[in-house]
Amino acid sequence: MIRFGPDTCTNVDQASEREWLETNGLGGFASSTIINLNTRRYHRLLMAATKPPGGRLLLLAKLEETLVIGDRRYELAVNRHPGVIHPHGHEYLKEFRLDPFPIFTYEVAGAQVEKRVFMLYGENTTIVEYKLGGDGPECVLEVRPLIAFRDFHDLTHANGAINSTVETRPGAASVTPYPGLPALHFAHDAEELNETGEWYYFFEYDAERERGLDYQEDLFNPFAMHFHFSGRETGTIIASTELHNVAEGPEFRRSEIESRSRTVAEVLTGNALAEALELVSGQFLVKSNERKSIIAGYHWFGVWGRDAMISLPGLTLVTGRWDIARDILLEFARTINQGMLPNRFPEGDEPAEYNTVDGSLWFFEAIRALAQHTADYTFVQNQIYPALRDIIDWYVRGTRYGIQVDARDGMLRCGEPGVQLTWMDAKVGDWVMTPRTGKPVEVQALWYNALRIMEDFAHRFGDGAAETQAATLAKQSRAAFTSSFWNQEAGCLYDVISTDLINTDLINNAERDASIRPNQILAVSLGHSMLSEEHARQIMDVVERQLLTPYGLRTLSPHDPRYRSRYEGDIGSRDSAYHQGTVWPWLMGPFITAYFKVNGRTEDVRQRVQQWLNPFRDHLGNAGLGQISEIFDGDPPHKPRGCIAQAWSVAELLRVVVEEHLL
């Protein structure tokens, strides 16, 4: 349970930096701050995934509540409008807790009102429950829904095209503001429902303002509900794209509590960090077609191939969700084209984007992890192995964007002007921030690792030709790797070797990028490594000294003149800092794995690693509650930035805690 008392709840600045998140397994979500002050365009009570996991539409923005006691009205809402916070409902908020879903406790003029918010798994449904506690006075709760009906990236503005009609029937009301969009149904047990048809103007979202984006929105109120707390203690609203009866609310709540309790009970670790991450790990597992997939992060990411493969071991394998892991891998195997795993599945009906060199290589690592955890080689052989062969064949003969094995050294080259193919993929317009064209170091590490995995599978499955091919390529690339990538002066690896692909003299005509970046850590952490023990140790020393922070690894050494210490400002400013110093928590997983490989697993080493994990335990109570953020600033105090909940941040920390027995 995460809890905040009145000191935090009544402080707008502190409260607005803490955000809760509910998800529905479809890609939809509900989210806001702990005082329900929406600071993002993505803060809503019902963000529906109409084409799971995409097609996300913001239907219900929020509920504005007013407690009426006698002739006095006490507004519980909190909004920012130009130059003012109004109303001041946070002044009545005495407690917020996440237990297991958001619960708000208000105290007003002797009355206590508890509000619960949760989503129903597998539906675009948000349930809000109110409970009057104590021996306070009789009162009426007035609730006014504010709707938007827009794409989740857009903003709504007052317009005359809206259909303000409210269809009512006993215990329910429905609105369909615009043609072609789904209806929003409200099941309720209010005594009164009055149509209003009013626009509320100029809501401002601080996070969007800080990001240099449009930040003002208008919202529409179709009706008001009145719950009379006289002889009753509870009131319920079920907002959904489905038709429901309000009587279903208590059973829905019990089901959600039992489901989340089972999730925690299945963690046999006793480790607070592992239990917390296990509890939220399922929020990234979403429906895709008829199978499961992994959403990269909330609020604005969709399904990304590379992120999914990196996240899969931590979200599914160490948590025992083996059937879900198989489903995800089968779904991605189905989408492989010219040996490439899709990098991104856009919202709606747009085709998948194939622009990642390493996604297919992470696919190999995910399959290896599945085999390690499940020993299900029959599944690998019958369902996945042909896809692995196809990837190797395409990478050898060449596929999109110049991705091809260099016959001179067996290493993998990639890149064309204007494209970004590695995980360092920030781009503004035609400007690629870190193009890394040629032979990126982590791509070589992943390629060698994939070849050895292929060799092992081919041997097990009696595929002699594939075994010989993989072994030959692996031996060739390993022979060239150290002489090409070792930076003797810095005591670590070059980040990229950019070669003239026409000139055959690789060593003398190579341009080596000596930037100190975290990509080289994968050359140490992956199961199949090309490095000597001494070189691995030197790399770890350099990375620890220059890149390690309390929340992960910097993407560039602070000694580099291009280093950016803060991820802030408009889109161009933020993207230019994205991989130029910004800290990424997901890299803590490979770093800790590599650290154990190099230093052994003595008690002193384990204690040091535990100290590195402590800041993440504290972080669970900041930013996205119970979650791990996407990124942090490179310099202290390392403010969390980006998405409040990132799949590979959660997954890699959970994986390393469980696999390395940090319990």
Give me the CATH code for the 2-260 domain, please: 2.70.98
Given a cut of 80, whether residue 263 has pLDDT beyond it is: no
More confident residue, 511 or 93: 93
**Beta strand spans in 205-241 (E):** 216-229, 234-240
**Can you give the pLDDT at residue 213?**
94
Phi and psi torsions of 281, nearest 5°: -60, -35
Whether the pLDDT of residue 501 is over 50: the answer is: no
Can you tell me the mean pLDDT for 341-370?
Answer: 92
Count the Cβ atoms, other than its own, within 10 Å of residue 32: 24
The Cα 191–Cα 245 span in angstroms is 15
User: What are the strands, taking DSSP E only, across 230-271?
Assistant: 234-240
E strands within 303-436?
A: 303-304, 344-345, 404-405, 412-413, 427-428, 431-432
Comparison of pLDDT for 147 and 417, the residue scoring more? 147
| CA 493/CA 515 separation, integer angstroms | 9
Query: How many Å apart are CA 587 and CA 543, to the nearest integer?
Result: 11
Q: Where are the beta strands (DSSP E) in 321-451?
A: 344-345, 404-405, 412-413, 427-428, 431-432, 439-440
SS (H, E, C) 491-528: CEECCEEECCCCCCCCCCCCEEECCCCHHHHHHHHCCC
pLDDT of 505 strictly over 70? no
Q: Give tens-digit pLDDT for 458-499.
A: 999 999 999 999 999 999 999 999 899 999 999 999 999 986
Residue 454 to residue 468: CA distance in whole angstroms = 10
- Residue 348: predicted pLDDT: 66
Q: For residues 250-270, b (16+ Cβ closer than 10 Å) or e, as one string?
A: eebbeebeeebeebeeebebe
Share of the chain above pLDDT 70, in %: 97
Q: Which two tokens stand for residue 354?
A: 């194939």
Q: Report how far apart, in Å, the C-alpha atoms of 157 and of each of 78, 180, 285 are.
A: 20, 18, 33
Distance, CA of 103 to CA of 277 (rounded, Å): 20
Lowest mean pLDDT among 209-218, 262-271, 600-609, 632-641: 262-271
Does residue 186 carry a pLDDT above 90? yes
What is the average pLDDT value for the chain, to the nearest integer?
94
396-410: average pLDDT: 96
Closest CA to 165 of 147, 192, 141: 147
C-beta of residue 98 within 8 angstroms of C-beta of residue 626 = yes
Q: What's the whole-number mean pLDDT along residues 321-327?
A: 96
Q: With a cut of 80, say whether residue 508 has pLDDT above it.
A: no
Residues 6 or more apart whose Cβ sits within 8 Å of residue 255: none
The secondary structure of the chain in percent helix, strand, coil, rounded to multiples of 5, reads 35, 30, 35
Q: How crowded is the C-beta side of 662, counted as CA atoms within 13 Å?
A: 29
Report whether pLDDT(507) > 70: no
pLDDT over 70 at 573, yes or no: yes
pLDDT class of 265 with cuts at 50, 70, 90: low
Q: Which residues face 65 on adjacent strands?
A: 143
- For the chain, the structural domain boundaries read 2-260
**DSSP-derived secondary structure letter, 92:** G
**What does the alpha-carbon distance between residue 633 and residue 547 come to, in Å, rounded to a whole number?**
12
Question: Can you say how many angstroms the Cα of residue 159 is from the centroid of all Cα atoms in its chain?
Answer: 34
Average pLDDT for residues 135-159, to the nearest whole number? 94
Mean pLDDT throughout 429-450? Answer: 92
Which residues, in sequence order, are CB contacts of 43 under 8 Å at separation 6+?
Answer: 19, 31, 32, 33, 62, 205, 299
